[in-house]
Amino acid sequence: MFFSACEEKKPQVTANSIPVTTNLETTRLGSSVDAYSNTPNAVNAASVDEALAQIDGEIAELDQRLATVSGDERTEAKIKADNLRAYRDQERMRYTEAKARAKGEVIKEEAKNLGDTVEEGARRAGEGIKDAAETVREGVENTVDNVKENMP
């Protein structure tokens, strides 16, 4: 019998997204998210945050252009802005998942360290109890010996 609730849950990972519109910002964002996914640290996180800000700036420029142009130029700007938004959102999701995985690994390591500490404490407590029992045993033996010596 198989219980699906008992099986280990594996995190779903969002696949690398492929931008419909490719430019410096999309390339930088994709490589920054990849770097953070492989090595989650503050430097790579800052790189992703910067790349997200740059792509947001590009989208804002396109939105301004939409307000001032018409016809084919407007259609082209709208398509590009929509494509950049979609790509940014997909990459932001990958980045969020990578951050969650990184935090999960930290929590797992901290739980292991806590378990090791508890285990060592229990071992030491066991040794202390063993030593205390030995001391009590020796005390009882000494008392019994003293009583025997002092009996008429």
Average pLDDT over residues 144-151: 74
What Å distances lie between residue 138 and 18, 115, 129, 142, 143, CA to CA?
Answer: 77, 34, 14, 6, 9
Q: Could you report the per-residue pLDDT of 24-79, keeping only the tens digit for each? A: 888 899 999 999 999 999 999 999 999 999 999 999 999 999 999 999 999 999 99
Task: Quote the tokens at residue 131.
Answer: 């030593």
Q: Is residue 5 part of a domain?
A: no
Looking at residue 62, its pLDDT comes to 94
Q: Does residue 4 have a pLDDT over 90?
A: no
Residue 66 inside a domain? The answer is yes
Alpha-carbon span 52 to 92, nearest angstrom: 8
| 136 belongs to a structural domain | no
Write out pLDDT tens, residues 110-142. Answer: 777 777 777 777 778 778 787 777 887 787 777
Q: Is residue 147 part of a domain?
A: no
Does residue 12 lie in a domain region?
no
Residue 100 amino acid letter: A
Examine residue 8 and state whether it is found in any structural domain, yes or no: no
Question: How many domains, the chain?
Answer: 1
Per residue in 16-32, pLDDT tens?
A: 666 667 788 888 999 99
Domain that holds residue 109: 18-122
Instruction: For residue 115, tell me if it sits in a domain.
Output: yes
Residue 150 maps to a domain: no
CA distance 146 to 151: 9
Classify residue 30 as exposed, middle or buried by CB count within 10 Å of its CB (0-12, 13-18, 19+). Answer: buried
Mean pLDDT of the chain, nearest integer: 82
Residue 100 has pLDDT above 80, yes or no: yes
